[in-house]
A and B are shown apart, each in its own frame.
Chain A
Amino acid sequence: MNVLVVGGGKLVYYLSRSLTGRGRRVTIVNRDRAECTRLARKLDATVVLGDGSDPTVLEEAGAYEADAVLAVTPNDEDNLVICQVASVRFEVPRTLALVNDPDHQETFKALGISAVSPTQMLSRMLEQQMAFEDIDQLISFGEGNVNVTELTLDDESPVVGLPLSEIGLPQDALVAAVLRRGRPIIPRGGTVLHERDRIIVVTLPDTHEDVLRRLVGASHV
């Protein structure tokens, strides 16, 4: 898989290092000659000097053969145009833009470009962690929209003793697994929850907090 990374700084260095480490062929496009030299020396990647939003530079960097383009410069407008040029002109199947302004995530989506906002991810994670200290956020995917969370039911939990079908979770939430004294259970509607069960829930942002509150009890929030 060929990945084209446009940008600079530590982010591009570590990103490229982790991609090449996983066997991806990486090409970096960077505007700064000295940084290009440094990156080329330290990484097993092709480095192209130039403006990544310029179609001729992207073509030179192999955009026609790229399977993915990552635009991670500090300027959101550049990241948008890089991804648009890559998908419109070179038909790159997958493009992803970094957005510094979290509001741009929606804007980019409306313009057909997937975007990730580290600011939003961090603030969302921080909020969730502060709200639920004994709850572990395991992973999130779908640009941070799908969360997988692990939590333990204690004696204050209002759902202990109830079967899953009666705990009243919103439609877009799922109890995916229950760990009972170390034994994993894939639950069904009739599975009754016990105290000290560790459960894994899949949630969407809109109802995330409601779901957790419903499971662990209001006093924890």
Chain B
Amino acid sequence: MRQAEDLFVVVVGCGRLGALVADRLSRAGHHVTVIDQQESAFGALSPEYSGFKLEGDATEFACLREADVGQADVVVVATENDNINLMVGQVARELFGVKRVIARVTEPAREAIFYELGLGTVCPARIVGDEIVEGLIRAGANGRVHER
């Protein structure tokens, strides 16, 4: 039985990031469908993953319909291609009416465009970059990093 607090999440792209997200959500008891063009990509999921796997091209409308995207609480688009993420994210939101769409951006310079088109984004490069820089600055304030 699906419980009220359980989410139905569709994850597009089963690369390292998509597989990680799908796995963690599935293990936390949420309903997950992960889509990838290549069946071999599903090998990245852990044996405990209990959601659905759908082999297909998420830029095709029929594929998203098959994944029941219209019923999803959240769609996470996490392929390695920013433009595919932008397109699939917008289709999920505008055509399937999904309220929460989170799109991965690989190129930090493109985050602004995602934002202008109304998509929530996660940019791994920026997160890691911020972490490194902030870590260094904090360390510098503590006197552990010295300028030349």
Determine if chain A interacts with chain B.
yes
Q: Which residues of A contact B (CB under 8 A)?
A: 53-56, 75-78, 80-81, 84-85, 88-89, 101, 103-104, 107, 110-111
Chain A binder among B20-28, B86-94, B132-140: B86-94
The chain B residues found within 8 Å of chain A, CB to CB, are: 59-62, 81-84, 86-88, 90-91, 94-95, 107, 109-110, 112-113, 116-117
Instruction: Verify B59–A89 contact, CB threshold 8 A.
Output: no
Complex Cα gap A88–B118 (Å): 11
B42 → A minimal CB distance (Å): 22
Contacts A77-B87, A80-B86, A88-B117 given; indicate if A56 touches B109 (C-beta within 8 A).
yes
A51 to chain B, nearest CB (A): 9
Chain A residues whose CB sits within 8 angstroms of the CB of B83 once the complex forms? 53, 75, 77-78, 80-81
Contacts of B94 in A (CB 8 A): 110-111
CB-based A-B contact count at 8 angstroms: 53
Q: Can you spell out 8 A-B residue pairs with CB atoms less than 8 angstroms apart?
A: A55-B110, A77-B84, A80-B86, A81-B86, A88-B113, A88-B116, A101-B60, A110-B94
Which residues from chain B contact A77 at a C-beta distance below 8 Å?
59, 81, 83-84, 86-88
Quick one: which of A55, A81, A88, A111 contacts B91, CB cutoff 8 A?
A111
Are A103 and B60 neighbours in the complex by a CB distance under 8 Å? yes
B116 touches A89 (CB 8 A): yes
Q: Are A89 and B60 in contact (CB under 8 A)?
A: no
Tell whether, in the assembled complex, residue B113 and residue A107 are in contact, meaning their CB atoms are under 8 Å apart: no
Q: Are B87 and A81 in contact (CB under 8 A)?
A: yes
Contact of A84 among B62, B88, B117 (CB under 8 A): B117
Closest to A101 in B: B60
Question: For chain B, what secondary structure do more than half of its interface residues adopt (helix, strand, loop), or is it mixed?
Answer: helix
A115 nearest CB across to chain B (Å): 12
Q: How far is the CA of A84 from the CA of B118 in the complex (A)?
A: 12
Q: A77-B59, A81-B83, A81-B86 are in contact. Are A110 and B109 (CB under 8 A)?
A: no
CA distance A53 to B113 in the complex (A): 10
Residue of A nearest to B107 (CB): A54
B113 & A55 in contact (Cβ 8 Å cutoff): yes
Given contacts A88-B116, A88-B117, 12 further A-B contacts (CB under 8 A): A55-B112, A77-B81, A77-B87, A80-B83, A80-B87, A84-B113, A89-B113, A101-B59, A103-B62, A107-B61, A107-B91, A111-B91
Report A-chain residues with C-beta under 8 Å of the C-beta of B110. 54-55
